[in-house]
Structure 1
Amino acid sequence: MEKMVSSASSKLIQWRLWPVYTILSSIISILIVVCANAFQLYDGPDLKVKWDTTVKYSAGFRMDDQDDDLVGSANINADDGDRNFDSGLISNRLDVFSEMDILYQNFGFRISGAGWVDTVYLDDNDNDSPGTFNGTGENDEFTDDTEQLHGKNVELLDAFVFGRGKLGNMPVSFRLGRHTMIWGETLFMAKNGIAHGQAPLDAVKAQTVPGTQAKELFMPTGQLSGQIQLNPNLSLNAYWQYEWRRSRMCSAGSYCSDADMIDAGGERILPGMDTPFGPAYLDRGDDLGAGNSTGEFGESNFENYGVGIRFRSEKIDTDFGVYYVHFNENMPYWIYTVEETPSVTADGFKVGEYFLAFPEDIHMIGMSFGTQIGDVNVSGEISGRINAPLVGTSAFDGTGKNNDDNPAYAQGNTLHANLSAIYFMGGTALWEGANLFAEAGYTDLLEITDNDEAVDDSRDDWALGFRMLFEPSYYQVLPGVDITVPLGLGYNVAGKSPTDLKFNANGADRGGDFSVGVDLTYFNVWKFGIKYTNYFGGSTTQTLADRDFISISVKRTF
């Protein structure tokens, strides 16, 4: 903590904050003028136009220095995100989110987008270990892809048309364009749910903001979706995706990254061997898209679709769902090949290549329910995946293995179940109102169907975890001021998931994360927050054990 308040650190923090101060003041000034009445641009009898823009500033501060056990030689391919940040400023970010809805009678159009700047990722970092740096540039600089994703970027989110009408006497509705369609009842454990097969995940948000609900983690995808209400208690739903998108992982070298070769920013794997020609390494090859072993990547093959039936039993006051989903994986699995004849390059001694593969042709069948027991909303889901990829260490062995009909990674049949509860409480002597959200998740490897030799022996056949969020609230503590105190806890009770390295957002066996914060709302317009996040568990399974941090934020919607 002394380092955080030192004169040198204070000057560095001020220098890094200055560009955001300038940008923030400029954007807010413009939005106050342009968007002061943007909540409802037009409100006619047939045509309605609404435009909202939210501006948010946030900063994060690391509490402790690196743990030697987590940056040692055994973690040479998992330590860049740790070494890149000493205690102190880890994020200095400005976000702008804008959305517009246009409605004409029974049809409409929605578009939204986001942009962000984080000056920490546009500057040099604190990595002073060139021998363990997995990138190909300077060890104290972020890789280009990491800088682009975390440092400054813009993205299109929703962009779709929608409508509703009748087919005979049956109400129908549709959406066409980039949007999110998710089924099931997952509350927190998004990758363990039915919805994982329907949309890519923003894993950056899941790891940097523990306790984020699953519905906020899914990213929109180009698709056609629709619903037919067959009768008041029975509906038929379906979708077909013409766009495939990968999930967003923490980029290599970013603060919450614990895999120096995975996804954006990943460039090399280091076997940890020095040679007369420099360090030995495996270079990153082209990503392997679903159904493709040649490196061509990014085109949809239109194999992501699903159909579901939702029905309600009035007798027991319960909603049920039955679903079938076919999808190509949006999370990467890495595979590698060792060269018969290594080569000397400017970066060292190249001994092979590694690839990020996105497995294909996964079938999922699931069921869900939702009901109310007393004052508690209870819901759950169970699903089975056929041909699912498994966590492992995989290698091309020269026998024609690929990412299509002869994959190098292990595959199997798996079971997934989530059970959740939501309880909206009234006032007590300790709070004026409170919300409790809780979910338990279970995953089980039923059968290995292909490449059992590629399964990671350190993984278990099953894993069990839970996550909860408790939010007591206090109203009008000052004129116009409401306060909420969110308390979050995620814990993996037992097992290392055979299907997910980041099961329950952190993957730690008998470990997890805890957070406590204070959120202040001023006249329902300005929102201020401060939160402390702690990662706990043994250093052998909790890879973020030394990365506790404090975050602060302020935002307003115009």
Structure 2
Amino acid sequence: MTRAHAARWNLDSDWVVNFDSLVSVGAALRTSNPNCAFIGNDNGGCVGSEVTPLQKSDPSKFSISLDTLRLNQDDGDLNYKQWQPVMANTQWVADLAVRGPDGWSGLLRGIVNYDAAIGRTKRTDLGSKSLAVSNPRLLDAYISKNLDVFGHDTRIRVGNQVISWGESLFILGGINSINPIYVPGSHSAGTQLKTLFLPSQIVSINTSITDNLGVEAFYQWRWNTFTFDVPGTFFSTLDVLGKHGRGIYFPTSLINAALTPLQFPNGTIGDNGTTIVGRNPRTLMPYNRQLSFEELADPNANPMGPILGTGTVIARGADRRPKAGQGGAAFRYKFEDSGNELGFFYERYNDKTPYGSYTVVNTKNNPVGLELNLDYGTGRNLFGTSYSFLLGDWQLGTEFSYRPHDGVTIDPSSVSDSSSPYYCANYSNSNLNTPTTVNKPIGTYCRGWVDTANYQFQLSGLNIVSPSGPLGWILNFTGAKESILIAEASFGYYPELKLHQGIPYATTSNYALPTKTIAGAVLFGSLTFPNIFGTRAALTPDFAVSQGIHGYPATPLPGFIQGAGSATFGLNFDFKVKPATTMRLDYTQNWGAGAANLLRDRNFMSVSITTAL
């Protein structure tokens, strides 16, 4: 949206201060029913005894049921029924921009919000609920200085800022990996990356060596991570992930498998939202109520405590967060005759998406003696090149990136073969311990990923349709004044990925085995009709489709899954009034990839109104 400055002050000594703000009010409804196959058996789901593709690949090495995964993935599904509001958010974004003499400038941007619907859930703890309802945060906050260095314009910027490299518009996992992503804003197909990046604490310099060769470099002195959906909110698909994420719960079916022929009914244990039907060890009476994490961790309160000698939860310990040591450089050469641009990039970074690592601890919380730690790879290197050029009416951008070491998620807790190098358990505090049980020493650290090389190629194209161009028929046929088409495709290759070698891969929500190649694409289109119904208002319908074409992902990004897709259809109204005001209606449909796509049952529609103040 183009905005006039809400307030402007011209101060002494040529200082100018501008204050702008946007207020938006929006709501979203779930339009689909929860799929019982995505809900743990203890919570009324229909997973049954199905095992994961990982366990099917080698039952002698792996033991991880789909029910165990679903019990720890289903809160977002259970919290919202069909036609229930999943969001009713009021948000204020404010910018304070300062420009002074001698090339000095600065920007301060922040956001405050309040969601009246997202906290109306029965399965979200108070910490998570509070964060989901209101999450005020500082965004950009930097100071810039423009100066002349040996006849070349140079800019130095220090503070919270976003640096965008490469040619990607929609798809993550390529060169544009400096800043983390605000995941809650990404759930509609075709959301552009530039609207999702979170500023990082960076010092950057941008200058030129010649008239055609530009150089940019940065150093990030403080690491920050992706902001994930709050556990238990509508789009959350992993209850342990994100701020206030909880630990891991064992389902009744897992204990039944270990205690055959003893069999207990669903709901004997479960998570902190399960109505527990198991018996209180102290009173021998059925609970018939929810138990807290602490109660399920206590063998004297857990219905399985007398049998196991432990609780049935894995507590989440301290995160292993990286610190500093990130930076990079970019060289861009613009060809004088054609205007085409060639870029070369290097980035030294730490992972911004976590892995689940385990530490063997002396605990009675669970029979396997484990504690969960969210963990991040450090000291990663990325090498990339890009080329942008004009082909007919299409502005095309290509990029190629190479990571010598990228992380592939594994789950050491799924390994049952004690001879495996990935085995991670200690049963010494439980009644399952026997003279032949292999117990890892207390303090053993079991890393939640393995490294592999990652090559990624992306191609994007932008066409602002001209009436006289090859696609001008779109304008003539529809009567639209403007039309924009954007297409982007991604191809990933993991040549060193080790398959069928006893590695407990956990890269999808059902532990499907990764493939050495993946591919996916995004398509976006819009039409603009001015002066609709004889008014000054403009109507812009748009659509976006995202589709996984081939393979199962090895690395967290870009994350395409074969068959998984989504489409968003929207209507934007620009009322062409002062203050500038717009309204958007949209609907998002998800599909495909079976048990590997937990968003398949989370279709939704939304409406929002935004105005400048």
**1:442-467 CA distance string (max 9 Å, x none):** 11212259997343461112210001
Judged with a 3 Å threshold, the aligned counterparts in structure 2 of structure 1 residues 541 and 54 are, in CA distance, closer, same or farther, namely same
Shift in alpha-carbon separation, 1:508–1:449, aligned structure 2, 3 A: closer
Single out whichever of 278-287 and 59-68 deviates more from structure 2. Answer: 278-287
CA distance in 1, matches of 2:540, 2:482: 9
Partner of 1:11: none
The TM-score with structure 2 as length reference comes to 0.75
Q: Which amino acid aligns with 2:175?
A: I
**Aligned positions of 1:154-233 closer than 5 A:** 154-190=136-172, 192-196=173-177, 198-207=178-187, 209-233=188-212
Contact 2:5 2:20 in 1 (8 A): no
Matches within 5 A, 1:249-328: 249-272=228-251, 273=255, 274=269, 276-277=304-305, 280-290=312-322, 300=323, 302-328=324-350
User: 1:185 touches 1:380 (CA, 8 Å); kept in 2?
Assistant: yes
**Residue 102, structure 1, aligned to residue 102, structure 2:** no
Aligned match of 1:129: none
Report the secondary structure of 1:81's partner residue: helix
Post-superposition offset of 1:220: 0.4
Shift of 1:103: 0.4
Task: Provide the rounded CA distance (Å) in 2 between the counterparts of 1:37 and 1:212.
Answer: 26
AA of the residue aligned to 1:255: F
In structure 1, C-alpha distance between the alignment counterparts of 2:451 and 2:127, rounded to whole Å: 30
Aligned to 2:469: none
Tell me if structure 2 keeps the 8 A contact 1:410–1:454. Answer: no
Query: Where do residues 370-389 of structure 1 align in structure 2 (5 Å cutoff)?
Result: 370-389=388-407
Secondary structure class of the residue paired with 2:353: coil
Q: Residue 353 in 1 paired to residue 371 in 2?
A: yes
> Are 1:118 and 2:115 matched, yes or no?
yes
**Pick aligned residue for 1:151 from 133, 137, 148:** 133
Alignment partner of 1:160: what SS? strand
Measured in 1, the distance between the counterparts of 2:482 and 2:181 equals: 31
Aligned to 1:32: none
Contact 1:121 1:142 in 2 (8 A): no
3-state DSSP class of the match of 1:97?
strand
SS of structure 2 residue aligned to 1:460: coil
Q: Which letter does structure 1 place at the counterpart of 2:409? A: V
In 2 relative to 1, CA 473–39 (structure 1 residues): closer, same or farther, beyond 3 Å?
Answer: farther
Three-state SS of the structure 2 residue aligned to 1:204 is helix
Amino acid at match of 1:488: A
Q: 1:36 to 1:316 in 2, by over 3 A?
A: closer
Residues of 1 paired with 2:7 and 2:73: CA distance? 46
Of stretches 153-162 and 260-269 in structure 1, the one that deviates more from structure 2 is: 260-269
Is contact 1:65–1:86 with CA below 8 Å preserved after alignment? yes
Give the aligned partner of residue 416 of structure 1. Answer: 456
Q: Which residue of 1 aligns with 2:503?
A: 453
* 8 Å contact from structure 2 (residues 319, 374) kept in 1: yes
The runs of at least 4 consecutive aligned structure 1 residues that moved more than 4 Å come to 348-351, 398-402, 448-452
Given that 2:409 and 2:448 are in contact with CA atoms closer than 8 Å, whether structure 1 keeps it comes out as no
Q: d(CA) in 2 for partners of 1:326 and 1:36?
A: 39
Q: 1:172 to 1:533 in 2, by over 3 A?
A: same
User: What's the CA shift string for 1:367-425, capped at 9, x where partnerless?
Assistant: 011111111110011101122111222357347765xxx94521111111211001101
Preserved CA contact (<8 Å) 2:34 2:601: yes
Q: How many residues align?
A: 486
**Aligned mates of 1:90, 1:111 — CA distance in 2:** 31
In 1, the alpha carbon distance for the partners of 2:227 and 2:33 equals 27
In structure 1, C-alpha distance between the alignment counterparts of 2:331 and 2:596, rounded to whole Å: 40
Report if aligned partners of 1:113, 1:158 keep a CA contact under 8 Å in 2.
yes
Instruction: Report matched runs for 1:24-103 at 5 Å.
Output: 38-42=6-10, 46-73=14-41, 74=67, 75-87=70-82, 88-103=84-99
Q: 1:145 to 1:186 in 2, by over 3 A?
A: farther
* Range with bigger deviation, 465-474 or 532-541: 532-541
- Which of 531, 535, 545 aligns to 1:489? It is 545
Q: Is the 8 A contact 1:336 1:355 kept in 2?
A: yes
CA distance in 1, matches of 2:460, 2:7: 34
Aligned partner (choices 373, 380, 392) of residue 362 of structure 1: 380
Mapping 1:467-486, distance limit 5 Å: 467-477=522-532, 478-486=534-542
Distance 2:325 2:167 in 1: 24
1:19-57: CA deviations, max 9, x gaps? Answer: xxxxxxxxxxxxxxxx99624333889322211110000
Instruction: Give the counterpart letter for 1:151 in structure 2.
Output: V
**SS state of the match for residue 486, structure 1?**
strand
Which digits, 9 at most, give the CA deviation of each residue in 1:49-80, with x for residues without a partner? 21111000000001122111111432111111
Counterpart Cα distance in 1 of 2:492 and 2:27: 35
My pick for the range that moved more, 525-534 or 72-81, is 72-81
Partner amino acid, structure 2, of 1:214: L
User: What SS does the corresponding residue of 1:545 show, helix, strand or coil?
Assistant: helix
Secondary structure in 2 aligned to 1:195? coil
- Please state how far the C-alpha of 1:218 moved relative to its aligned partner: 1.0
Q: Does residue 510 of structure 1 match 2:510?
A: no
Cα 1:464/1:448, change in 2 over 3 Å: closer
CA contact (8 A) 1:390 1:412 kept: yes
Q: Which amino acid aligns with 2:487?
A: A
Asked whether the equivalents of residues 365 and 384 of structure 1 are also in contact (C-alpha less than 8 Å), the reply is yes
- Secondary structure (helix, strand or coil) at the match of 1:114 reads strand
How far did residue 342 of structure 1 move?
5.0
Deviations 1:244-285 (A, max 9, x none): 111111122110111111122321212323452296121111
Range 89-98 or range 168-177, more displaced: 168-177
Aligned with 1:343 (options 364, 367, 372): 364
Distance across 2 between alignment mates of 1:92 and 1:328:
35
3-state SS of 2:328 partner:
strand
Quote the RMSD (CA, aligned, Å): 2.4
2:595 is the counterpart of 1:540: yes
Give the number of the structure whose alpha-carbon radius of gyration is greater: 2
Q: Distance in 1 between matches of 2:155 and 2:516?
A: 42
Structure 1: where are the runs of 5+ without partners? 1-34, 126-139, 291-299
Counterpart residue type for residue 185 of structure 2? K
- Please tell me whether the aligned partners of residues 184 and 195 of structure 1 are also in contact (alpha carbons under 8 angstroms): yes
SS of residue paired to 2:176: helix
Q: Distance in 1 between matches of 2:455 and 2:444?
A: 27
Whether the 8 Å CA contact 1:61–1:551 is kept in 2: the answer is yes
CA contact (8 A) 1:69 1:539 kept: no
SS in 2 for 1:429: helix
For the residue of structure 2 that corresponds to 1:147, the secondary structure is helix
- Picking from 333, 338, 343, the partner of 2:355 is 333
2:465 pairs, out of 417, 425, 428, with 425
More displaced stretch, 145-154 vs 103-112: 145-154
**Take 2:563 and 2:607, find their aligned partners in 1: how far apart are those partners?**
29
Which structure features the higher share of strand residues? 1
Give the aligned residue type for 2:539: I
In structure 1, what is the Cα distance between the partners aligned to 2:587 and 2:198? Answer: 26
CA contact (8 A) 1:335 1:356 kept: yes
Matched, 1:246 2:225: yes
Which residue number corresponds to residue 52 of structure 2?
A: none
CA distance in 1, matches of 2:562, 2:238: 17
CA contact (8 A) 2:356 2:447 kept: no
Deviation string for 1:297-329 (max 9, x for gaps)? xxx3x2110011111122443101101100011
**Cα separation, 1, equivalents of 2:221 and 2:139:** 16
